[in-house]
Amino acid sequence: MAEGKWITFIDSDDYVGIDFLKELYRVAVVNETDISICDYSTVLNNHGLEKRGTLELELSNIECLESMYHPKIHGMEFVAWGKLYKTTLFKKKNIEYPVGKIHEDIFTTYKLIYSASKIAYSNYIGYFYRIRKDSIMTSDFNLKRLDVLDARAGACDFFLGKGEINAFELALNAYLRDFIILYSELSECKADFNLNKEKKTVDAKI
């Protein structure tokens, strides 16, 4: 368990700029927020360039969720990385990343955002997401991809239980979108699957 006041996450194949933590910390402290978020760049190598931010936003938890479900601002996504969190968000709400699941950030990020009093965003580019052929999103279809439906369903239940109807509807739309995408990918998959059996697995998620 982390002992510091703040925590961030960096995927093992990604990298960050020299001022990544400094800038996220500055944005969080200046705006007195529980979470700060920065922009990112996709790269194929180790030559990503940091870019000074020209825009800062202060958002409520619901405003931030709306921005993530309808991303109009680059970097506002349900990923664990590219953010700095107060560790109390994890400890007070007993929030943990699920073991044995992929898309683990989709299981968790919405809870952290909802638990925050305020969130700050900067379009400073300090995180570099490396594109790999064998990543979750670019590799051949795998049934573990269906974990995202469990994550989306969990978000629906969470917001409905909190009485956050607008957030529930946004989460439901995300669930249905991912369901359609995965069902289509499974139907077109040329891997050695028993398609009728696997489609039933997808059907059981809805």
> pLDDT by residue (tens digit) across 56-112?
999 999 999 999 999 889 999 999 999 999 999 999 989 999 999 989 999 999 999
d(CA 13, CA 138): 14
Q: How confident is the model at residue 46 (pLDDT cuts 50, 70, 90)?
A: confident
Q: What pLDDT, on the 0 to 100 scale, is given for residue 47?
A: 82
Tell me the mean pLDDT in the region 40-55.
90
Q: What pLDDT, on the 0 to 100 scale, is given for residue 140?
A: 64
**186 near 141, Cβ under 8 Å?**
yes
Position with higher pLDDT, 5 vs 196? 5
d(CA 125, CA 14): 13
Tell me the mean pLDDT in the region 167-192.
85
> pLDDT by residue (tens digit) across 138-154?
556 677 888 999 999 99
128 phi/psi in degrees, rounded to 5: -125, 110
Domain residues of the chain, as ranges?
6-130, 143-203
